[in-house]
Chains A and B, each alone.
Chain A
Amino acid sequence: MIYLQVLANGLVLGGLYAAIAVGFSLVWGVLNVINLLHGSFIVLGSYVAFFAYAYFGIHPFLSAGIAGAALFALGYVVQAGLVNRVIAAPVLITLILTFGLDLILNNAMLLAFSADYRKVNLAHPLGSLELGPIFLPGDRVAAMVLAFLLTALLYRVLRDSRIGRAIIAVRMDREAAALMGVDVKRINAITFGLGAFMAGAAGALLSIIYPISPLNSSLFLGKAFVVCVLGGLGSVPGAMVGGVALGLIESFGAYWLGPEHAITLSFSILLVLLFVRPSGILGKRGYE
């Protein structure tokens, strides 16, 4: 019976991990940019939610939209103003650029918000859900459901909208996309913005679960990275599969080996997977 509980914990965690990773995966897959800012984007989203709750009483489930929109704007500007200038350069160049930008953003957050851990203490928590033998904290489940819905929304946008098809076309062949009349630089900026949107929204949702500090950005970035390698790069289904896989690995790892080994386990599995199946669990480079 305890396994059911561990399984449920893993699934809830996995839904959140998918949302953390999907924007990172999109940017990597479409732009071939490893966005090291992603973790700080998530933390910034958490701060938006924290202050929106502290000063205006806006529940993080609502401010996820605000955080997403704010981060979209930031992401759009960063890509249009900076990353687009070196987008054609080797991946190492863009990696160094986002590394530098992350140092700036992260230190700016340290200055502005300090390294102290803060927490959103909800005035009216949802209590816990009881499903037979399984106990689940209601807020966590609600955050997971919202994260899942946002991820599904991104999937729809990519599949069914005109912009989405342009993003996919750019991913497959940027020059051919340009010949269709696609403004590739604008699509780059929108893609980066969408990645940042998902980071900001995920950060807001996470603010009710994890303590908030700029120090957490590398933790989130690491998880996004593992999820991408587990699920395969650049596709929404890949991020979902990878996210759930990581959630389950950590949950069962924590149960069998103790919570202190959960991260070690997930990174060990990552290393093994990189050797035996570098294309990820889904095994192909999906395009949505």
Chain B
Amino acid sequence: MDAPKLSVTQLQAGYGDVQVLWDVTLDVKPGEMVCIVGSNGAGKTTLMRAISALVPVSAGRIAVDGADLTGATPARMVAAGVAHVPEGRRLFGAMSVRDNLLMGAYLRPDKAGIAEDLEKVYALFPRLAERQKQDAGTLSGGEQQMCAVGRGLMARPSLLMIDELSLGLAPRMVDLLADGLRRVNAEGVAVLLVEQDVMNALELADRAFVLDRGRVTLSGPAAALADDPAIREAYMGGLAG
């Protein structure tokens, strides 16, 4: 059996004295698309930041391809093939779109491969090609998200983590992004997705985890969760989030 791409075991993490994550266990298999849903403040962002080593882990284990990377540095996580598209996109606003994408490939020595991947990202999101010389800060919200996803892909990851794909974007943009993400996933890149639009997330993903106040309360195939009455009531009933 393949080792999981990512496995998080009994993870505890937080900020200073405030513990946010309690015994979180979750895994992503190679090539799989997994989503994490949960209401505001549930700890979704904290979980991704802990995986990327931006937030210290107080207990538990994080492994990539079976190798223990608990307490690693963000750079080691990138080198291990985990790219993180952060909440709020966090582009380098006064840098061009192209330079932003190239920053994604910061750790890579293979010039030819980088040039190839740049073309791939432009093919995935043609709008980025049109705007490659523009400062990233001047893009529309949807284009910025494309740039952020593209920047993540430039690391040539085997796992792409995206914190809020569609938040605040026009429906047409969300479609373009979801489409792009499907294509990336179809090429074998595993995806771990945090998404406030639960319907959209469960439609995209193979499996899902529900995070509630820092604990995983439910998990299973996305299709099954989409039919779960408790989920339907909690996240799809009203505009609950």
Query: Measuring CB to CB, which residues of chain A are less than 8 angstroms from any residue of chain B?
Result: 162, 165-166, 168-169, 172-173, 175-183, 287
Contacts and interface: CB of A to CB of B under 8 A. Distances in A.
Contact of A180 (B73, B93, B94, B106): B106
B106 A162 contact: yes
Contact of B155 (A162, A169, A181): A181
Contact of A178 (B54, B83, B94, B155): B54
A178 B93 contact: no
Contacts of B102: 165
A53 to B, nearest CB: 42
A172 B155 contact: no
A183 B106 CA distance: 11
A168 B106 CA distance: 13
23 contacts: A162-B106, A165-B95, A165-B99, A165-B102, A165-B106, A168-B95, A169-B103, A172-B95, A175-B86, A176-B86, A176-B90, A176-B92, A179-B52, A179-B83, A179-B84, A180-B104, A180-B106, A180-B107, A180-B151, A181-B74, A181-B75, A182-B106, A287-B95
Nearest to B75: A181
Contact of B90 (A173, A183, A287): A173
A181 B157 CA distance: 12
A284 to B, nearest CB: 9
Contacts of B54: 175, 178-179
Q: In the A-B complex, list the 10 residue pairs whose CB atoms are closest, starting with the nearest.
A: A181-B107, A181-B78, A176-B90, A178-B74, A181-B75, A180-B106, A172-B92, A287-B94, A180-B103, A181-B106
A182 B155 CA distance: 12
Nearest to A166: B106
Nearest to B78: A181
Contacts of B99: 165
A169 B92 contact: yes
Nearest to B82: A179
Nearest to B108: A181
A181 B107 CA distance: 6
Interface string B94-116: 11000100111011000000000
Contacts of A165: 95, 99, 102-103, 106
* A169, A173, A175, A179 — most chain B CB neighbours (10 Å): A179
B78 A180 contact: yes
A175 B79 CA distance: 16
Nearest to B99: A165
Given A175-B86, A180-B103, 8 more contacts: A162-B106, A165-B99, A165-B103, A165-B106, A173-B90, A173-B92, A179-B74, A182-B106
Contacts of B106: 162, 165-166, 180-182
B163 to A, nearest CB: 11
Contacts of A172: 92-95
Contact of A169 (B52, B78, B86, B95): B95
A37 to B, nearest CB: 28
Contacts of A178: 54, 74-75
